[in-house]
Amino acid sequence: MKFDVLTLFPEYFEVLKQSIIGRAIKNGLIEVNITNIRDFSKDKHSKVDDAPYGGGAGMVLMPNVVYDAYKALDGNDNPRVIYLSPQGKQLNQNKVIELSKEKHLILLCGHYEGIDQRVLDEIVDEEISIGDYVLTGGELPAMVLIDSVSRYVEGVLSDDSSKEESFSEGLLEYPQYTRPEEFLSKKVPEVLISGNHSNINKWRRKEAIRNTFLKRPDLLKKIELSEEDKKALKEIENECQNWFWPLIFRN
Ligand code: 4GX
């Protein structure tokens, strides 16, 4: 899968050379090409922005430079052009999976007060936001998108953990433990040491449901629970109803 990024700050994307995404790039599983929009300025001082028509604070990226940078990319494979902006539809795991099926994405990163509307209307297929807060530019959102989408590209995750984990099933994860068996007087849950894999799976499923019930009850409403899941949820609700009795009967 290929990502083309149009940005004024190419240095940001050095971060993608790290860890799992860095390895995926090295292995040729994903390709990330960064284009500096400034390279397409025809101005002798490499000017890329100007004051907004109508007045007001800040600067606006000029349409011709953005358009020329876009035109210089290979568009033969019908790439999808995404503009990262708080005005877009919010990114979620379903959108991430949908995007991971594309061959080529072009990510346009805005800065300053934004980009001239005419070039956006001309080239952008879709506006995506990573959440309701304001950043200084679209670079971090572009990296969030590249990271989350790349995880679904075949071979990027060494095992098949992307299929197992949080959100793919609509539940949060169960808690994890590793050595030592005792830490600050806290023991690893007995069942995990038992070696009984049927019991371990049941316990993990219940704890995933508990985490979701306690931390993200909104997610629990969106998914279909099996009869066994519903039983586990009832037990959790009862456990929650009873937790304060030891406090009341203290002394
Ligand atoms: N999720 N930003 C885009 C440039 C800009 C300024 C004004 C339109 C109007 C963001 C987000 C985000 C900051 C990226 C402003 N665009 N992008 N940038 N949240 O905050 O995606």
Atom of ligand 1 lying closest to residue 111 CA? 4
Closest CA to ligand 1's atom 1? 129
Q: What is the pLDDT of residues 73-118, one digit of tens each?
A: 999 999 999 999 999 999 999 999 999 999 999 999 998 789 999 9
User: So what's the pLDDT on residue 242?
Assistant: 83
Q: How far apart are CA 13 and CA 25, in angstroms?
A: 12
Pocket around ligand 1: residues whose beta carbon is below 6 Å from it?
84-86, 110-111, 113-114, 129-131, 133-135, 137-138, 141
| Dist. CA 142 → ligand 1 center (Å) | 11
**Pairing between strand 2-7 and 31-36?**
parallel
**Token couple for 192:** 């995990």
**Pairing between strand 104-109 and 2-7?**
parallel
| Dist. CA 199 → ligand 1 center (Å) | 47
Q: How far apart are CA 17 and CA 23, in angstroms?
A: 8
Could you give the 3-state DSSP secondary structure of residue 209? Answer: helix
Q: Taking every pair of C-alpha atoms in the chain, what is the biggest distance, in angstroms?
A: 81
Q: What is the pLDDT of residues 1-43, one digit of tens each?
A: 999 999 999 999 999 999 999 999 999 999 999 999 999 999 9
| Dist. CA 86 → ligand 1 center (Å) | 5
Q: What is the pLDDT of residues 191-222, one digit of tens each?
A: 999 999 999 999 999 999 999 999 999 999 99
**Token couple for 212:** 């979701």
Closest CA to ligand 1's atom 17? 85
User: So what's the pLDDT on residue 158?
Assistant: 82
Atom of ligand 1 lying closest to residue 109 CA? 3
Task: Supply the pTM of this predicted model.
Answer: 0.93
**Pairing between strand 60-61 and 49-50?**
antiparallel
Could you give the 3-state DSSP secondary structure of residue 235? Answer: helix
Q: How far apart are CA 101 and CA 150, in angstroms?
A: 10
Q: Which residues pair with 3 in a beta bridge?
A: 32, 105
* Exposure class string for 155-180: b at 16+ Cβ within 10 A, else e: ebbeeeeeeeeeeeeebbebeeeeee
| Dist. CA 61 → ligand 1 center (Å) | 13
User: So what's the pLDDT on residue 164?
Assistant: 60
| Dist. CA 136 → ligand 1 center (Å) | 7
